[in-house]
Amino acid sequence: MNIIITGLITGSMLALLAIGFSLIFGVARIVNIAHTAFYMVAGYIIYYLSIRLGLNVILSMLIAVVAVTLLGLLAYKFLIDPIREHELAVMIATIALALIFQEVTLQIFTGDYLSVYFLIKGYFIIGGNKVFYQQLLTFGVVLVILLVIWFLLMKTRLGLAIRSTAEDREVANLMGMNESRLAMITLGISVALAGVTGAVIVPLAVLSPYMWTEPLILMMAVVVLGGLGSIKGSFVAAYILGFTEALVTFLIPAGAFLKGPVALSIMILVLLIRPEGLFGIAFEEER
């Protein structure tokens, strides 16, 4: 039972992060290493507003998501947009950005572990295991957000634009889509997703300035496993890896050390058989 709950929660978190990451990669070819750093920043903002300033938790979550999105847009405008043609430089810029976030939070909040209250307290018991309402809530919210994203991408004009740009940037540009603005919007959505992830996970997680590296690794594994740019792939892969992690942690002695490696080994094995990931479309050679 514990396995199922942990697997669901980790999987949902990874799904949200991975979808944001692969969205911005698909549309703008930006490998945003700082993606999980935004998630960390959102967590800290929520902590600051709700614990230090005593604001309502839900209100502070909303503020956090908006603030992180603005931060992401600013970072895009001033740091990433000027060097867009140099993909590698962009990647390094995002690494540097993540380091800056890490260091700034370290300065402000020190390296201590912090946590935020649950939104709703209490738990019920199934089969001898505690299930916190908070965990159910988190899972529910994640599902709702995933639905919203799916709707946005599949049913709206903006979603059509995003998908077509992801498929072929030049043709989309020729069809009159403003590629640069679209990239900016997508980055906004992607960072907002990271912020939302931070908001829903923060009551269950421990905050530390280094918390961005661990999900970063798993998120990349999810994205690769599911196939870049495939929402469905990211979704399935996230739960596969989430459950693997939970299984390894609970069933194997010294499993806590091995949870990352096992998940990553699965990724490598799948890639050996299907180099484009589970649901990915093989990219045509870009010329």
Given the rule CB under 8 A, which residues bind other proteins? 25, 31, 33, 79, 82-83, 85-86, 88-89, 91-93, 95-97, 99-100, 102-104, 106-107, 213, 216-217, 220-221, 223-224, 228, 254, 257-262, 264-265, 267-268, 271-272, 275-277, 283, 285
- CB of residue 248 to other proteins, shortest distance in Å: 10
- CB of residue 229 to other proteins, shortest distance in Å: 10
H-helix or E-strand spanning residue 113: none
Q: In terms of CB distance, is 47 or 212 closer to other proteins?
A: 212
What are the CA-CA distances from residue 97 to residues 36, 87, 103, 140 (Å)? 11, 15, 10, 32
- CB of residue 215 to other proteins, shortest distance in Å: 12
Q: In terms of CB distance, is 130 or 274 closer to other proteins?
A: 274
CA pair distance 38, 214, nearest whole angstrom: 14
Q: In terms of CB distance, is 63 or 184 closer to other proteins?
A: 184
Q: In terms of CB distance, is 50 or 259 closer to other proteins?
A: 259
CA pair distance 142, 12, nearest whole angstrom: 6
How many Cα atoms occupy the beta-carbon half-sphere of 95 within 13 Å?
Answer: 6
Identify the residue whose tokens are 């599949």.
Answer: 154
Q: What is the DSSP secondary structure assignment for residue 175, as one 8-state letter? A: T
- CB of residue 68 to other proteins, shortest distance in Å: 19
Instruction: Give the relative orientation of helices 157-167 and 2-28 as an angle to the nearest 10 degrees.
Output: 70
Q: In terms of CB distance, is 89 or 120 closer to other proteins?
A: 89
Q: In terms of CB distance, is 103 or 120 closer to other proteins?
A: 103
CA pair distance 122, 44, nearest whole angstrom: 24
CA pair distance 77, 80, nearest whole angstrom: 6
- CB of residue 43 to other proteins, shortest distance in Å: 19
- CB of residue 177 to other proteins, shortest distance in Å: 23
